[in-house]
A and B are shown apart, each in its own frame.
Chain A
Amino acid sequence: MTADAALRCQALTVRYGRFTALDGFSYAFAPGRLYGIIGPNGAGKTTLMNVLVGGVRPSAGSVHIRETDVTGLRVPARARMGLGRSFQITRTFAGMTVFENLRLAAQASVFRRQPLWRSARTFPETAERARAMLATVGLEREADRPAEQLSHGDGRALELGLALMADPAVLLLDEPLAGVGHGALDRTTDLLARVSAGRTVLLIEHNMSAVMRLAETVLVMMDGKLIAQGDPAAMRRDPRVREAYLGSDA
C-alpha cells in the first residue's frame, strides 16, 4: 500500500446468532478508485456496506477512514467524515418535493447548527446547492414534483443526489441500477460514471455489464468472505468467480 487508504477494513466479522454474514473481511480501498463488489445473493455485500457506514456493529474487526479508527462511531459521525451512501431501497423524503429533498440534504453541509428562526426557504446557499444538484442528476424538470410520485429511475437519481449532497470522499452505492428500466439504464450508468470522478466508490451491483464498464477493481464475495479480486477482465475469466455464481445461482 503506497498512499493512505481512503477506507480500510480489518478482519470484519458479523454474526447473527449462528449465522455468519461477514467472515473476516479485510481490504484497503485506495483513494479515487471505483470498486465493483459482486457475489451471489447472501454473500454479505449489503452487510459489509452496513458495517462500513456504522449501521451494524461488527462482532469483530475494525473500520478506518483515512487511517482513523471509526469502529466505535455511529452513522452520523462517519457521514460527517465524508462517507456517503445510497440505499438499495430508495430513502427519500416522501411528502417533500424533489427540490425540498435536496435542499434539506444541503442543510447538513451549509449549517453547523440548524437555524431555528428563519424559514428554510430564505437561505440562498442551500437553494443554490440544491439547484446545482438537480442539474447534476438531471432532475431539473421534476424539481417541484413530490418525491413519492417520481418514476423509478428518477427516484434512483434523487437517491443518488441525496447521497452526493455532502460531496463525500467515499461513496457507497447499494444497487443503484436495481429496477431501472432499459430506457434509463445507459443514462443512469453515465451518471454514475460522472459523479464517481475524484471519489472512492464502492459499487454493489447485479448488472454485470455496468460493473464491468464502471469498475477499475472488482471484488468477489461469497459466504461473507472475499474470494477474489482484480481488474474486471481478469475477474470475468476467473474460474472461482464462475464457480461462485454457478454453484449457488444456477
Chain B
Amino acid sequence: MSAATTDWTRRTAAELADALAAGEVTSVELTRAHLDRIAAVDGDADSGVHAFLHVDAEGALAQARASDERRAAGAPLHALDGVPIAVKDVLATTGLPTTCGSRILEGWVPPYDATVVAKLKAAGLPILGKTNMDEFAMGSSTEHSAYGPTRNPWDLTRIPGGSGGGSAAAVAAYEAPLAIGTDTGGSIRQPGAVTGTVGVKPTYGAVSRYGLVALANSLDQVGPVTRTVLDSALLQDLIGGHDPRDSTSIPQELPSLVEAARQGATGDLTGLKVGVVTELSGEGWQPGVKARFDETVALLVDAGAEVVEVSCPNIVHAIAAYYLVLPAECSSNLAKFDAMRYGRRVLPAGVEAPSAEEVMRASRDEGFGDEVKRRIIIGTYALSSGYYDAYYGQAQKIRTLIARDFDAAFEQVDVLVSPTAPTTAFKLGEKLDDPLAMYAGDLATIPANLAGIPGISVPAGLADEDGLPVGFQVLAPAMADDRVYRVGAAVEALLARTWGGALLAQAPELEEVAR
C-alpha cells in the first residue's frame, strides 16, 4: 500500500475499494476528485492531456450517489462499486455519445449499452466519460482522432500511444483510476508501455465484444487499462465471461485473475519457465528499451524463473498478415456508415436536392479520415475476386503458422516475454507522414492478436536516452490469462523494490490548464 495521501486520485482502484468499504470516503467524493482532476489537466484538442472526448460529470455523480446509498444500506453490488472508470469511445453507451474518434459518428448516442458497459453499470462503477482514440482504433498514436490528439502525461509534446491513448493517458494522468481499452494489434498494451501504465489484452473471447464498434472482429478484444496489475485483474474478473450475444466469447470460465496477481506479487517465480522470443528480443531496437528489457529478464532469473530463448520464425510475417486481415474486415464493417440512419450527414456543397448517393458520398468523404480511407481501399482490394486467395487467404494461412509457432513455444515454456514496443513515445507528428514506420511499431504486440492469446504490458523503467517509460510484455497460451497476471505482478513487485514505488511516481507533475 502506498503512503497515505489526501489526494484520492493517486490511489489504486484496489485501495479505493478498500477505503469505500471502510467508510473512509464516499463514491461521490472520489468521483468529484477525479472530475476535478479532469477539469484541471485534461484541457482540449489544443492543450492539456486531452484524454477525454466526453465527460459525463452529471451522470457519474448520479451513479456515485446511488452507489453511496447502496453502501449505506449495506448492499454494495461489487468490490469496485463506487470506484469511477473511464471508457474508450469505441464502446456503445446509452445516453452518452459514441464517436469512435470519427466525424462520421459525431452526435450518435447509442440506444443500447455494450455488454462490458452494462457489466460496469451493474457493478456500480460510475462512468466518468469516454476516452479519445485513433479514428475507429486505426493507429498507434491517437493522432488519427478526428477530435485532436491525446498528449502523453510524461511529456505533452509526445504521443500517448494508440489507438487507446486516451484511456492510457487518463490513467497515467490520475484522471481515472481505471479505464477500459480495446486491443486489435496492441491498442491497450502499446499505450500502456509508453505511458508507464498497465494494460492487458485478454484471450480472444474472454471478454464480450457485443457493443464494441468493430475494427477487425477476429482480432479485437476488450481489456483493462490501469496503474497496477492487481487493478487490471479486478477489472478483467468483472468484465470477463461468456455473453450469449457474442458467440465468439468463450463459454469456459478463466481461473481467478486476482488470485494470480496476488500470488505473483510475492515475487517468487520458482519453477516458472520463461521464453525470450528471439525475433522480439529487442536486437536493433531503441537501446534504452533493450537495456530495460534485459534487466527485467535478469530479475526474473533472480526470482527463480528459468529463462530460455525460443524462436517463433513466422512472426516476421505478422505485420504483413495483419495489414491484410484488418483492412479486409474493417472495409466490410465500415460499409454501413452511410449517414442515412445515424451519425453525421453531410450535404454536398452546391448541389440542389442531392440524391441519397450524393449525400452518402459527401458524408463518407468528410466523415472518414485519411487513415480510415486508406484501410478501406486496401481491404476492399484484398477481398476482391481474383485477389482473395493471394491476399486475404494467404494472410489467414500466416495466422495459422504464427499460432502454431506459439503452440510449439508453449510446449517448452510457460510464458513468453518481449519488450512491448521497439521505442519509447515519439514526438507528435513525427511519424504521421510515414504510415509504414507507424505500423512497424506494433511488431511485438500484433502476433498475440493474430493468435488470439493473452498479453500484458507492465512498466519496465525509463530509457536512459530520453527518460521515457519502457514496457515489458508477457504472453501466455489462450485461456491462461492467469499466467500473464502472475508474471506481470511479479515484475511489478520486483521493480517497485528497485524504484522504491510505482514508476509513475517519477512522472513530472502536470500543469493545470487555463480554464
Partners in one complex: no
B contact residues vs A (CB 8 Å cutoff): none
A contact residues vs B (CB 8 Å cutoff): none
